[in-house]
């Protein structure tokens, strides 16, 4: 096959190669192999231009390779023979002893100095620099004008491929970005819980950026939902809300972040800031609504208790007032526990212990009180009812019992049992009093349970209701 036919075949094969795939790396490797084979050269090197770093980066080779575990060869336009071709936008050909040329640039991990000749041409797309390529031979060789023109034509085809592949890669990257932001938006809009939103943001960040680790750092320094591990490279993006920084999005990985990836992180950080403020606003609204609801219910309960007390006859006004104060303080204690823990359930053991301390203080001296309180949780409304029941029974034991009062809170066969025992006379003779009327009503209506009173060498009151 004569040179003209071979050159035409090379150009045809190159066009077929560059149109065979939108995977840029695959195309560049095909070009390097086809060019070296058709021109009969020992090696071919293809560089792409990184505009952001203003560097030519080696992306494909044939006939030689970069030593493993070493840095990818890079050079600025104007450095080295290939860099000069890129900077001048014109071919450079040296037929022999190319490594002795003053423009030659040696890379320790790329054995270019073993070659005698070099032909380097720029890769241009409508005068825009996209890269450069060169061919090398181990024996001296004078490349003909036809071969130089052929390599320039091939470089022009490669330039078009680079543009198309970059557009495709940009579109693919945009799809990934939109999917990531869509996931975050969905998580933020669907969840009323701030922790769930933050968790979704961190996990989506790791998936989208192929990160080794990620975390949200709040303005108080608290780290929310850290995932993974630190990497060799880290990016910290501020979370800003109305010109105020409210935290940071931290992302780690073992490879550098591109400008596009940093832009994606910035967009995720914006969503994270919105999610953070949205979650806080929701929590403030929910908390305020819950507090208003609880206050209203508590005031209604206080009103009902005062009405019951008002209907009682032949009662010492001072004692009636003190009993009402204790009942109101009991309701306040339940409200305080709910607000402190920001939960719907109350730890009955903690609540009973608080009430015990409140009622013992300053009321009765010389009393011995023992308590055995199991960890039991109860919903707020039921906790209020049980707290009032406990207050009435315990206060009665303090006032009418002997020297010792014992309190037992336990789970029993799927039920909760509250038992108060004293060694005095207790409520005997007062089973129609206001306090016991309140206890019976609360146990029956609110707790759906039963109460048993027993006199056996002391007084024993036990309330049992479904858990």
Say whether pLDDT at 446 is over 60.
Answer: yes
State the Cα–Cα distance between residues 100 and 114, nearest whole angstrom. 11
Question: Who wins on pLDDT, 59 or 185?
Answer: 59
Say whether pLDDT at 353 is over 80.
Answer: yes
Question: Who wins on pLDDT, 380 or 30?
Answer: 30
pLDDT of residue 164: 79
Chain centroid offset of residue 358 CA: 43
CB-CB neighbours of 418 under 10 Å:
26
The owner of tokens 């790329």 is 110
Say whether pLDDT at 139 is over 80.
Answer: yes
Contact of 407 with 374, CB cutoff 8 Å: no
CB-CB neighbours of 439 under 10 Å:
24
Geometric angle at alpha carbon 127, from 124 and 128, rounded to 5°: 70
Question: Who wins on pLDDT, 1 or 316?
Answer: 316
Of the candidate ranges 93-97, 304-308, 401-405, 419-423, the one whose mean pLDDT is the lowest? 304-308
pLDDT of residue 44: 92
pLDDT of residue 287: 47
Same fold, 3-169 and 312-466: no
Q: Which CATH number fits domain 312-466: 3.30.43.10, 3.40.50.300, 3.30.429.10, 3.30.565.10?
A: 3.30.565.10
CATH H-level superfamily of 183-275: GAF domain (3.30.450.40)
The owner of tokens 């100095």 is 113
Say whether pLDDT at 107 is over 50.
Answer: yes
Total residues found in the chain within this entry: 467
Q: What percent of the chain has pLDDT over 90?
A: 19
Residues 255-308: tens digit of each pLDDT: 888 887 888 888 888 878 877 776 666 555 544 555 555 555 556 655 665 666
pLDDT of residue 189: 61
Write out the H or E segment, with its range, that includes residue 262: helix 259-311
Helical pair 259-311 and 194-209, crossing angle rounded to 10 deg: 170
State the Cα–Cα distance between residues 242 and 228, nearest whole angstrom. 31
Report the DSSP beta bridge partners of residue 217. 223, 248
Chain centroid offset of residue 272 CA: 9
N-terminal to C-terminal alpha carbon distance within the chain? 94
pLDDT of residue 403: 81
The owner of tokens 């750092």 is 217
Of the candidate ranges 39-48, 55-64, 167-176, 290-299, the one whose mean pLDDT is the lowest? 290-299
Question: How would you class 154 by CB atoms within 10 Å of its CB: exposed for 0-12, middle for 13-18, buried for 19 or more?
Answer: buried
State the Cα–Cα distance between residues 6 and 41, nearest whole angstrom. 13
Each domain of the chain, given as residue ranges in start order, spans: 3-169, 183-275, 312-466
Residues 68-84: tens digit of each pLDDT: 556 788 999 999 999 99
State the Cα–Cα distance between residues 39 and 31, nearest whole angstrom. 12
Fold entry, domain 3-169: Beta-Lactamase (3.30.450)
State the Cα–Cα distance between residues 138 and 113, nearest whole angstrom. 9
CB-CB neighbours of 181 under 10 Å:
17
Question: How would you class 47 by CB atoms within 10 Å of its CB: exposed for 0-12, middle for 13-18, buried for 19 or more?
Answer: buried
Say whether pLDDT at 120 is over 90.
Answer: yes
Please state, rounded to an integer, the average pLDDT across all residues of the chain: 79
Which pLDDT band holds residue 203 (cuts at 50, 70, 90)? confident
């Amino acid at each position: 096959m004569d040179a003209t036919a071979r050159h035409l075949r090379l150009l045809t094969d190159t066009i077929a190669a560059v149109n065979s795939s939108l995977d840029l790396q695959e195309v560049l490797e095909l070009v390097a192999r086809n060019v070296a084979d058709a021109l009969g050269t020992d090696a071919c090197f293809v560089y792409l231009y990184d505009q952001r770093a203003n560097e030519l980066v080696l992306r494909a080779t044939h006939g030689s390779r970069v030593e493993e575990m070493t840095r990818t060869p890079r050079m600025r336009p104007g450095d080295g023979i290939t860099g000069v071709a890129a900077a001048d936008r014109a071919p450079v050909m040296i037929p022999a002893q190319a490594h002795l040329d003053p423009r030659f640039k040696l890379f320790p991990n790329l054995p270019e100095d073993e070659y005698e000749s070099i032909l380097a041409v720029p890769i241009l797309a409508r005068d825009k620099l996209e890269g450069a390529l060169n061919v090398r031979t181990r024996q001296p060789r004078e490349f003909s004008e036809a071969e130089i023109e052929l390599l320039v034509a091939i470089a022009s085809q490669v330039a078009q491929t680079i543009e198309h592949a970059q557009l495709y890669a940009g579109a693919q990257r945009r799809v990934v970005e939109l999917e990531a932001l869509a996931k975050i938006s969905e998580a933020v809009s669907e969840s009323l819980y701030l922790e769930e939103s933050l968790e979704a943001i961190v996990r989506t960040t790791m998936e989208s950026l192929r990160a080794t680790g990620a975390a949200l750092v709040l303005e108080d320094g608290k780290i929310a939902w850290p995932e993974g591990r630190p990497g060799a490279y880290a990016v910290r993006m501020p979370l800003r809300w109305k010109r105020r920084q409210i935290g940071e999005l931290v992302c780690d990985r073992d490879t550098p972040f591109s400008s596009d990836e940093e832009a994606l992180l910035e967009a995720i950080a914006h969503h994270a800031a919105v999610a953070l403020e949205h979650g806080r606003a929701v929590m403030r609204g929910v908390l305020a609504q819950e507090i208003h609801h609880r206050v209203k219910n508590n005031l209604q309960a206080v009103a009902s208790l005062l009405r019951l007390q008002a209907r009682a006859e032949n009662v010492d006004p001072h004692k009636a007032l003190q009993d009402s104060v204790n009942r109101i303080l009991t309701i306040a204690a339940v409200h305080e526990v709910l607000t402190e823990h920001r939960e719907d359930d109350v730890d009955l053991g903690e609540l009973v212990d608080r009430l015990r301390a409140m009622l013992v203080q300053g009321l009765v001296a010389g009393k011995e009180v023992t308590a055995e309180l199991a960890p039991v949780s109860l919903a707020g409304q039921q906790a209020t009812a049980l707290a009032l029941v406990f207050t009435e029974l315990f206060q009665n034991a303090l006032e009418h019992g002997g020297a010792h009062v014992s309190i037992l809170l336990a789970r029993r066969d799927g039920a909760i049992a509250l038992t108060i025992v004293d060694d005095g006379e207790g409520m005997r003779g007062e089973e129609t009093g206001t306090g016991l009327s309140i206890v019976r009503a609360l146990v029956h209506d609110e707790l759906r349970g039963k109460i048993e009173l027993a006199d056996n060498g002391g007084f024993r009151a036990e309330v049992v209701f479904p858990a």
